[in-house]
Amino acid sequence: MKMNISLLLSAAICLLISGCSNYRELNDLGVIIAMGVDHNEDPKQPYRVTYQVINPSGLSQTNKAGGQGLAVINYTVTGKTLLETLGKSASVIPRENNTTHLSLIIIGEKLARNDLDLLFDGLDRGKYSRVSIPIFIARGQTAKDVLGVIEPLEITPGKNIISTTQNNQKLYGSSSEVLAYEVIASLLSDGKDVSLPGISIRNASQIGKQTKNLETTDPTTIKVSGLAVFRKGKMVRWLDGETARAAQFVTSKVKNTPVVLPCKKGNVTITTIGVKSKMVTEIHHEKPVIHSKINVMGELLETTCQLNFSDPNVLKEFEKKMVKEIEQQIKRTIRITQKEKADIFGFGDALSRTNPAYWRENKKNWDNLYSDAPIALKVNVEIINSGLLMEPYGTK
């Protein structure tokens, strides 16, 4: 009995010791929360990587506890590979590097136009790989510049980028988060190309990198800016506004978005409250035909027209108008991607599932087949209500 008690005590002591062996004080760690990857002009060191590290004393100052400095500090190093830059960052970051809290990766546009394939190899293959991280493209600027903005509303630029992207997806739908594993899957696929959300700097100036940016009502900020389209791992163009949103319609990533339709002496705004799409690629006479069916549910929430919304025929009329408008936007967007031979929707992947024999024979030529494929689009719209008013203002 005494021996059993001794063994239990020994086991408990071992557990306690092992539990503390990996313990680290926050002030001993360089917690990396964001990473920016840019093209470097030196071909011997093609990557310029900016690591954004949490500053604990700056966080305490943000929380009014009397700390010193900003909430984050950026360190930039160059190297032949991403893993090499992480190792070299130890020569400038005065604390033990820790990437377990890495929350996003920004890629500079110039690098994105060169090639993404090798860039993502390290994220997928490495011992400390993180493939559930959202990826963004810095539009017209470097990732270093974007991470250098001192944000007025969020503690860090990374938090601002993620929050703004999520807010855009909820309220307009031209952008959505794309995680690293989704990018890797597209890069490895013959039937789907990559598309990534863009971010840029609004009111870009040197003040945006200084604390003075917090002292103005019109500060430098980071904004969602279009959808980057890739073909075989290389960025080829941007989609903006309605074309970027139309791409999200095809893939069901739109949640709530306003669609403005004309009427006599004004406009009607219909907000979608549900979008569901289905993609199918069929073969007719040995040629692919792209089929997309999209069901949309919406609410009529604003009008500047004199209309009687208690009449069901009025809502039916606007359902038809909305069908026509969405179809035009989606067809325009698909044709743009066909011109670029960039199947960002995954119609090729859909074909590989429905007709695997045809796909095996033609997958290497899918970009050309996709560019010439006819589009069969079917949009259904149901407006379920017209808000709390049956008549617009000024009818009495």
Domain ranges of the chain: 23-239, 241-396
**pLDDT per position as a tens digit, 245-258:** 999 999 989 888 99
Question: Tell me, what's the pLDDT at 7?
Answer: 42
Question: Tell me, what's the pLDDT at 350?
Answer: 93
Mean pLDDT of 364-392: 85
The answer to whether 96 touches 30, Cβ cutoff 8 Å, is yes
Mean pLDDT of 336-363: 95
Contacts of 1 (CB under 8 A, 6+ apart): none
The whole model's pTM is what? Answer: 0.87
The answer to whether 138 touches 106, Cβ cutoff 8 Å, is yes
Question: Tell me, what's the pLDDT at 311?
Answer: 80
User: Both ends of the chain: CA-CA distance in Å?
Assistant: 94
pLDDT mean across residues, the chain: 85
- Does the pLDDT at position 324 exceed 80? yes
The answer to whether 34 touches 106, Cβ cutoff 8 Å, is yes
Region of 173 on the Ramachandran plot (φ > 0 left; ψ -120 to 50 alpha; else beta): left
Instruction: Specify whether domain 241-396 bears CATH 3.30.300.210.
Output: yes
Contacts of 327 (CB under 8 A, 6+ apart): 377, 379
Q: Which of 23-37, 185-199, 261-275 shows the lowest mean pLDDT across its residues?
A: 23-37
User: Using CA atoms in the order 22, 26, 29, 34, what is the torsion angle rounded to 10 degrees?
Assistant: 120
